[in-house]
Chains A and B, each alone.
Chain A
Amino acid sequence: MTDQKEAHVGDPLTDDPLVIAGRKFGSRLIMGTGGAPSLDVLGRALVASGTELTTVAMRRVDPSSSGSVLDLLAAHGIGVLPNTAGCFTAAEAVRTARLAAEALDTDWVKLEVIADEVTLLPDPVELLDAAEQLVADGLTVLPYTNDDPVLARRLEQAGCAAVMPLGAPIGSGLGIRNPHNIELMVQAASVPVILDAGIGTASDAAQAMELGCAAVLLATAVTRAHDPELMAAAMRSAVTAGRLAYRAGRIPRRRYALASSPPASSPRDGT
Chain B
Amino acid sequence: MKIVINGATHRVADDMSLDLAVALITSSATGIAVALNGDLVRRASWPSTRLAAGDQVEVLTAVQGG
Query: How near does chain A come to B57, taking the closest CB pair, in angstroms?
Result: 10
List B contacts of A56 (CB < 8 A). Answer: 62-66
Give the interface SS of chain A, mostly helix, strand, loop or mixed. mixed
Q: Which residue of A lies closest to B8 (CB)?
A: A60
Q: Cβ of B40 and Cβ of A70 under 8 Å apart?
A: no
- Residues 14-25 of chain B, each 1 if its beta carbon lies under 8 Å from chain A, else 0: 000000000001
- Asked if A33 and B64 sit within 8 Å, CB to CB, the answer is yes
Closest to A99 in B: B33
Which of chain A's residues have a CB closer than 8 A to the CB of B31? 68, 70, 103-104
Q: Which of B7, B30, B35 contacts A99 (CB 8 A)?
A: B35
- In the bound assembly, the distance between CA atoms of A71 and B22 in angstroms comes to 20
CA distance A65 to B34 in the complex (A): 18
Residues in B with CB closer than 8 Å to A162 are none
CB proximity to B under 8 Å, residues A19-44: 32-36, 39, 42
The answer to whether A60 and B66 have CB atoms under 8 Å apart is: no
Q: A60-B7, A95-B35, A102-B40 are in contact. Are A69 and B64 (CB under 8 A)?
A: yes
* Interface status of A112 (Cβ within 8 A of chain B): yes
How many angstroms from the CA of A81 to the CA of B63 in the assembled complex?
Answer: 11
Q: How far is the CA of A95 from the CA of B36 in the complex (A)?
A: 11
Q: Is the CB of B65 within 8 A of A85?
A: yes
Q: Give chain A nearest CB distance to B15 CB in angstroms.
A: 23
User: Are B40 and A42 within 8 A (Cβ)?
Assistant: no
- Residues from chain B with a CB closer than 8 A to the CB of A85 are 65-66
Residues of chain A within 8 A (CB-CB) of B60 are: 58-61, 99-100, 103
Chain A contributes a number of interface residues (CB within 8 A of B) equal to: 35
Q: Are A57 and B64 in contact (CB under 8 A)?
A: yes
Whether A153 is near chain B, meaning CB under 8 Å from some CB there, is: no
Kindly state the separation between the CA atoms of A63 and B31 in the bound complex, as whole angstroms: 14
A residues less than 8 Å from B32 (CB atoms):
61, 103
Quick one: closest B residue to A30, CB to CB?
B66
A95: contacting residue among B34, B38, B62, CB under 8 A: B38
Q: Is the pair B63, A69 in contact by a Cβ cutoff of 8 Å?
A: yes
B59/A61 in contact, CB under 8 A: yes
Contacting residues of chain A (74-93) with chain B, CB-CB under 8 angstroms: 80-83, 85
Give Cα distance in the complex from A238 to B32, angstroms. 36
Which chain B residue shows the least CB distance to A33? B64
B residues with CB within 8 A of A: 6-7, 25-26, 28, 30-35, 38-40, 42-43, 58-66
Interface residues of A (CB under 8 A from B): 32-36, 39, 42, 55-63, 65, 68-70, 80-83, 85, 95, 98-100, 102-104, 110, 112, 219
